[in-house]
Amino acid sequence: MSPREKPDPLPDNFILQPPVFHPVVPYVTTIFGGLHAGKMVTLQGVVPLDARRFQVDFQCGCSVHPRPDIAIHFNPRFHTTKPHVVCNTLYLERWQAEARWPRLGLQRGASFLILFLFGNEEMKVSVNGQHFLHYRYRLPLSRVDTLGIFGDILVEAVGFLNINPFAEGGIEYPVGYPFLLKSPSLEVPCSRALPQGLWPGQVIVLRGLVLPEPKDLTLSLRDEAAHVPVTLRASFADRTLAWIAPWGCKKLISAPFLFYPRRFFEVLLLCQEGGLKLALNGQGLGATSVHQQVLEQLRELRISGSVQLHCVHC
């Protein structure tokens, strides 16, 4: 696509806000499109050894005077005899009744991954993959358009995502895969081992940013003999997304083309019995058939193309 071409308009629920890395606290930012049911915010970082408290506020605006309403105030406190979390709502510059949760799942000196999951009537919070609390809305979620982070916290990454469409069964949350991984470099081309192949329920997560003058993006799954039974390819020349069969046959995927220059994206592949399900930016786009025996024999994921990778999880 030439610099003068404009991307086709996309529904708001297909567009993802780029993650923010190592912001300086206090940190305030606009939440693109505001909050709505099905949206997630992830917070990755470290609690300093001398931390007393920090807070994450989901605000209705960012004014200084008067102070904006805060629909959800999440406030871990470490300096008390019994560390705990307070949640509250600020309305017309007055705090409402506090809600408290003991047994704080955060520790001084430790890293953490907090996931805020927004439903129709309440927010759920998990800490390091474990459910911690839920807080019922006291102000309409639709009013929230600003995120504020304050206090004693070292933030490594803030992510804004849609809910994983593959979260089903008995689990409460999609897994909050971190944006910054203490792992090998994510230079492209990128390779990840699949030592035990793919099994039903396994999810491949790919997050990144499209480069300014992109050509293509290819995800290929290979077996020990370097055969490539599964390939997913995005072509920027004709703005198509397709599954490519081993013999070269192309099966186009009918969906909005989400990969645009300088835009953030998330690809999810869910292994199921006899195939793979695909989701882009939290929207399920169907499946492709792959024999289970072939899936079990896969040993490598390769990613190439015109992207900068932030996260690859297999």
Does residue 1 lie in a domain region?
no
Q: Which two tokens stand for residue 260?
A: 């645009």
Instruction: Report how far Cα 60 is from the mean position of its chain's Cα atoms.
Output: 23
Mean of pLDDT over the chain: 88
Least trusted range by pLDDT, from 65-79, 170-184, 256-270: 170-184
Q: Which residue has the tokens 């297909």?
A: 14
105 with 188, same domain: the answer is no
DSSP string, the chain: --TT--PPP--GGG--PPPEESPPSSEEEE-TT---TTEEEEEEEE--TT--BEEEEEEE---SSSPPEEEEEEEEE-SSSS-EEEEEEEETTEE---EEE-S-S--TT-EEEEEEEE-SSEEEEEETTEEEEEEE-SS-GGG--EEEEEES-EEEEEEEEEPPTT--TT-SS-----SS-SSS--PSSEEEE-TT---TT-EEEEEEEE-SS--EEEEEEEETT----EEEEEETTTTEEEEE-TTS-EEE--S-----TT-EEEEEEEEETTEEEEEETTEEEEEEE--HHHHHTEEEEEEEESEEEEEEE-
Q: State mean pLDDT over 190-198.
A: 93
Cα four-point dihedral sign 7, 281, 234, 11? negative
| Residue 58, domain member (yes or no) | yes
pLDDT at residue 170 tops 70 = no
Higher-pLDDT residue of 52, 4: 52
The predicted pLDDT at position 267 comes to 93
Neighbours of 253 (CB within 10 A): 16
Query: Does a structural domain hold residue 170?
Result: no
pLDDT for res 2: 47
Which pLDDT tens digit goes with each residue over 260-311? 899 999 999 999 888 999 999 888 888 899 999 999 999 999 999 999 998 8
Residue 183: the pLDDT is: 52
**What is the rounded distance in angstroms from the CA atom of residue 89 to the CA atom of residue 138?**
7
Contact assessment for residue 147 and residue 57, using Cβ atoms and an 8 Å cutoff: yes
Question: What is the predicted pLDDT for the residue at 250?
Answer: 87
CATH number for the domain that contains residue 43: 2.60.120.200
Task: Please report whether residue 10 resides in a domain.
Answer: no
- Same domain for 234 and 121, yes or no, is no
- Whole-model pTM? 0.85
Which of 148-157, 194-203, 228-237 has the highest average model confidence (pLDDT)?
A: 148-157
pLDDT level of residue 191 (50, 70, 90 thresholds): very high
Q: Are residues 33 and 95 in the same domain?
A: yes
With a cut of 60, say whether residue 20 has pLDDT above it. Answer: yes
- Co-location of 143 and 192 in the same domain: no
pLDDT at residue 182 in the model:
54
Confidence (pLDDT) at 73: 98
Show the domain range for 152: 15-161
Q: Which residues pair with 88 in a beta bridge?
A: 73
Residue 123: inside a domain:
yes
Is the domain of 214 the same as that of 293?
A: yes
Cα(122)–Cα(172) distance, integer angstroms = 13
Mean pLDDT calculated for residue range 3-25: 72
At 24-75, the pLDDT tens digits run 999 999 999 899 998 999 999 999 999 999 999 999 998 888 899 999 999 9
**Looking at the domain assignment, is residue 239 inside a domain?**
yes
In the chain, how many domains are there?
2
The pLDDT, as a whole number, for residue 188 is 92
Query: CA 232, CA 250: separation in Å to the nearest integer?
Result: 10
Q: Flag whether pLDDT at 6 surpasses 80.
A: no
305: nearest Cα among 211, 209, 213, 217: 217
The larger pLDDT score, comparing residue 9 to residue 231, is at 231
